[in-house]
Structure 1
């Protein structure tokens, strides 16, 4: 079949199902020159890199943001606003890429991402900065799903794992570099504002590629714009977004802002529970939508393979993100590292992660037995996270490097292969839904796990500090602010004894943060054992 611009993504590069006919291959890029494809890939991978950077860039600009804008109670939202918005809109964009022209949609998301970045850089207040982070998060989610859509459309089943690995690798490297970029820029004459403004010149660089090089992909040329809009499950999209947003809000507020048993905390949990139940019922009974158009692919829940793929992808993402976030934090508190110094200590993690992401993507079409990747990867993460759960202020740095290498190797094996496997396991017409399903597991779980870990860090850290400073007269606000680092009066004082007590207490808190990573790794490993021991023939492709 000729690959025209209007060919639906679900019909290009689809995995051949078992049949009596002989399989054959087509070139899904037969109408795209090699030079154009290279430019498209560079733009897609760069977009994923920027998305990854913005996911974590706020980690090391909070001190400067507080000094410039005040309102310490808003600091956590500078970091959480971006991934929260991304998670809340993943399913919406998944449906969008299954209906609308992918080129128009990815360009629109690119502009939204840049608008949010510009607002962040120019923010006059902390509230404006949070709004900008939310807007950028929406655009970033659409950019990332757009990259996955283009790869799914214009690669064969044998190529898809490697191209998907490169997208995931770009995001992973960006998320690792985010705190470094934020720290370097916020500590320079450019100030923290350029940690967000930096996206604007990147936009100028890649915009011509989006406009003039990217091919159009219209998955449903038979429908008008009005008919496409009518096929979106708007109620489901609203309930889905509300469920994620309220859950993150209630997790972050409970204990740190509102007492766990307070009326405000209970009310938030009730609202979350109501939204969750409403979303489940609306999707189950297709209320104000149809079974075909509902925003969540409910029929995927009948597939053991797809459910397990969701679980292993989410579990691996949770373990990876927690380790990635709290290892540098540990070194910054215990060794006094700057953002750059902490990033240098992550080099073993980065290099090993890159190697295993690429190795998994390159070898999956050859080996085919995807369950082995999850079993080996989960075991490595479990061992590494368990060892990280034993560290304290006296643990030699070399041992910590070794522990994080184990987590990096396991994370690399499982990070991105779920996309290729899910597309192969789903029916061809559900390819775009399969991409969104796994993206929800990967990026969604990253956001949720960091929110939960952040709540644990704030609550457990406060109790550790409260116990450690029992003989001091520090108010609770001082102790809570110590968890934010150098902006706290505890660390800005000249009391070396108090600083040492705080470092030991916070190091103990960070050690406990690897317990959720252990739990995620254990769930990953157990789920891998439940997977079918089958071999996917990803090298066999056919025309749609």
Structure 2
């Protein structure tokens, strides 16, 4: 039996053990207690927690989600300024990619930690790690240092985000969970709005791009008293000592899982751009990745250096068709968001000669509609309950919007692009955050943390993977397209590659307007082909929804074993 305790050590809630969960009790909407057939009272998850403390806790949690969203997208409009200050075009992708790559490399491990240690102190520690990474990014003297900072911030950010989800899984009922999780999507989305805008504003100001990362420090410091003195504590498996809990961590699985993601991102980022696809380094990296994948699967399947309860990947949950397809839906909607947020601003920078700030503003139609429909979906899901409808509708809209973005040219009007953005935003927003509530409703109470971890891997992981794939397409297809289009002008290869980083390239300083027009058309055609990813992911989202069971999720079964 695990207990939720306040700062004064008093018990706020006794979590009901599985043996007592065979009662036919339901909770009232206002949180009052309802008697079951043998007159045993079932307490609301926040029983004994003052409303004002819960309100401040929510503010702190949502700020963490906002900062996570901020750092996910803030690199979208600072890359040109970073390249101008630090150089090294081959490292530029890591400004955007390092953060989500590190996040997904540790997300399963973070999920395990949140299932065995006090969630209050874990979220405080991971927030501190996030702030250290942000400080390193702001002070980075080289692109390598900036990459290290982004990786550290990504590790901390993953813990912050998962901590927010963990708090709401512990302190809310199933009926409340979808709305609170939609609030996470709202905070994350609002941070995503601010990311490109803040990044662009700082890049165009005397403060420089460095304050795009420093800004995290005062925001977290402002909320630190809430984290330290207001957040309630909750530790699962309280009967185990810290040392006993540490022994249950699947360290081998955690290392292999991190290697899988890091190697995959590494090869996609450097393959074709820095390393030739047929080079020994590229082939060796793919071979090591393949061997690591096989080792991870075998280690998890046969409990090597772990056991069924402690293994990192909850393979038994993958027997549920509904849960697997919800993961697919979450992954595809995250892919749509990642690609759109990064490449819409880039499109306007090339075709309209926008500054970083102006290009970020062009993304607002996408973000506003995306956030709005996250909230609509979260609020309506407990009422509609047929969760597959959200994925079917979302997939159809993404396919339509993606197909339209695939037709863009330098002459496509701004109004049309906004319309295409909105279609994609609605399609991605409808299923984006619902997976957390659906997954929690489909598994036994003791498996909810693991199910949320799977959804988190799908969301964060595939956003990172999609950015890596999109970056590889942009760098390789863009280079080939530019090289062929500008062949008669005999530009050196580094000039051609730098043209992909923005208008700071010497190519755009040419006195021949024809050169600039050719380069812009080649890059827009490349971005158009990157948007082709949306058609494929939208189709996967649609098909996944069609294959889901035609059933209603039970969001009221808070005591289901």
TM-score range, shorter chain: over 0.9
Give the 3 Å change call, closer, same or farther, for CA 238–490 of structure 1 in structure 2.
Answer: same
Distance 1:224 1:271 in 2: 37
Which residue is 1:204 aligned to? 221
In the TM superposition, residue 22 of structure 1 has moved relative to its aligned partner by 4.8
In the TM superposition, residue 504 of structure 1 has moved relative to its aligned partner by 0.6
Which residue is 2:262 aligned to? 245
Choose which of 367, 373, 376 in structure 2 pairs with 1:359.
376
Distance 1:219 1:138 in 2: 22
Which residue is 2:62 aligned to? 45
Choose which of 434, 457, 468 in structure 2 pairs with 1:417.
434
In the TM superposition, residue 341 of structure 1 has moved relative to its aligned partner by 1.6
Alignment of structure 1 residues 435-454 onto 2, 5 Å: 435-454=452-471
Which residue is 2:35 aligned to? none
Question: Is 1:23 matched up with 2:40?
Answer: no
Alignment of structure 1 residues 38-437 onto 2, 5 Å: 38-437=55-454
In the TM superposition, residue 32 of structure 1 has moved relative to its aligned partner by 1.7
Distance 1:10 1:246 in 2: 43
CA contact (8 A) 1:9 1:152 kept: no
Distance 1:9 1:273 in 2: 46
- Larger CA deviation: 231-240 vs 308-317: 308-317
Give the 3 Å change call, closer, same or farther, for CA 496–376 of structure 1 in structure 2.
Answer: same
Give the 3 Å change call, closer, same or farther, for CA 10–267 of structure 1 in structure 2.
Answer: farther
Q: Number of matched residues? A: 542
Which residue is 2:550 aligned to? 533
In the TM superposition, residue 496 of structure 1 has moved relative to its aligned partner by 1.9
Deviation string 1:81-111 (CA, Å, 9 cap, x unpaired) is: 1111101000000000000000010000010
Which residue is 1:4 aligned to? 4
CA RMSD of aligned residues (A): 2.2
Distance 2:215 2:560 in 1: 42
Distance 1:9 1:505 in 2: 61
CA contact (8 A) 1:9 1:217 kept: no
In the TM superposition, residue 258 of structure 1 has moved relative to its aligned partner by 1.1
Distance 1:383 1:76 in 2: 29
Distance 1:252 1:542 in 2: 46
Deviation string 1:370-397 (CA, Å, 9 cap, x unpaired) is: 0011111111111111111111111111
Deviation string 1:57-88 (CA, Å, 9 cap, x unpaired) is: 12222233233333222222122111111010
Distance 2:512 2:62 in 1: 48
Which residue is 2:32 aligned to? none
Give the 3 Å change call, closer, same or farther, for CA 70–318 of structure 1 in structure 2.
Answer: same
Distance 1:518 1:43 in 2: 37
Which residue is 2:527 aligned to? 510
In the TM superposition, residue 296 of structure 1 has moved relative to its aligned partner by 0.6
Residue aligned with 2:236, SS: coil
Which residue is 2:479 aligned to? 462
In the TM superposition, residue 10 of structure 1 has moved relative to its aligned partner by 12
Give the 3 Å change call, closer, same or farther, for CA 36–21 of structure 1 in structure 2.
Answer: closer
Residue aligned with 2:168, SS: helix
TM-score, normalization: structure 2?
Answer: 0.93
Question: Is 1:479 matched up with 2:496?
Answer: yes
Q: Which has the higher contact order (CA 8 A, sep 6+)?
A: 1
CA contact (8 A) 2:478 2:523 kept: yes
CA contact (8 A) 1:310 1:438 kept: yes
CA contact (8 A) 2:478 2:526 kept: yes
Distance 2:560 2:288 in 1: 48
In the TM superposition, residue 27 of structure 1 has moved relative to its aligned partner by 2.1
CA contact (8 A) 1:24 1:540 kept: no
CA contact (8 A) 2:200 2:360 kept: no
Distance 1:466 1:10 in 2: 66
CA contact (8 A) 1:9 1:153 kept: no
- Larger CA deviation: 484-493 vs 261-270: 484-493
- Larger CA deviation: 87-96 vs 339-348: 339-348
Distance 1:140 1:425 in 2: 27
- Larger CA deviation: 66-75 vs 427-436: 66-75
TM-score, normalization: structure 1?
Answer: 0.96
Deviation string 1:330-368 (CA, Å, 9 cap, x unpaired) is: 111101112222222222212211211101000101111
Give the 3 Å change call, closer, same or farther, for CA 28–20 of structure 1 in structure 2.
Answer: closer
Unpaired runs of at least 5, structure 2? 29-42
CA contact (8 A) 1:12 1:154 kept: no
Give the 3 Å change call, closer, same or farther, for CA 331–99 of structure 1 in structure 2.
Answer: same
Residue aligned with 1:158, SS: helix
Residue aligned with 1:471, SS: helix
